[in-house]
Amino acid sequence: MSFKLGLTGSIGMGKSATAQIFADLGCSVWDADAAVHRIYGKGGAAVAPMAAAFPDAIEDNAVSREALKRLIVADETVLKEIESIVHPLVGADRARFIAETDAEVLVFDIPLLFETGGDREMDATVTVFTNAETQKHRVMARGTMSEAQFEAIRAKQMPIAEKRARADYEIETDTLDHARTQVQEVLSDIRARMAAKKGA
């Protein structure tokens, strides 16, 4: 039986880099954002139901995120309908991942883990964090959004202090080496818990 670890953090906190460390150390990683890309991609599972609900959002047999953004800006109630289509499909993608992998530890990289109640499906949770200055610097260095867009996203996300308080483990991503050491400590603890459970 695999151990399910939910991995979360806010934008620019180093979540993707930390997920990669878990993968490097032998864990199987499921990425919620990548799952959305799969179901939105050409011929993906979301294309037909989205085409029925929002024909304007389909371009070249794929769901256009830009078109969806425009629809949401025009009418905020559209978001709920999009979520009602996407969430079950993402859930099915996650279930398929669980069924098809036999790794000892499964890591679920989910940005909105606590916000969506996904933590209830996990055996434990880990929050990655860094200070606000480093967070902002990382996001701005990507060159993909304005400062105003970054602040808007950060304002919508659960405060990192709350995510840290709710998590079973924390990983500070000030340096990659420090993050790797903490990931190793988390995995050692999880394996000890699994061994104790087997022995019980």
**Each residue of 127-180: pLDDT tens digit?**
999 999 999 999 999 988 899 989 888 888 899 999 999 999 999 999 999 999
pLDDT bin (cut points 50, 70, 90) of residue 191 is: very high
3-199: which CATH number, 3.40.50.1980, 3.40.50.2300, 1.10.3720.10, 3.40.50.300? 3.40.50.300
Task: Show the CA angle centred on residue 93, arms to residues 168 and 30, nearest 5°.
Answer: 40
pTM of the prediction? 0.90
pLDDT of 200 higher than 70: no
Q: Where are the domains of the chain?
A: 3-199
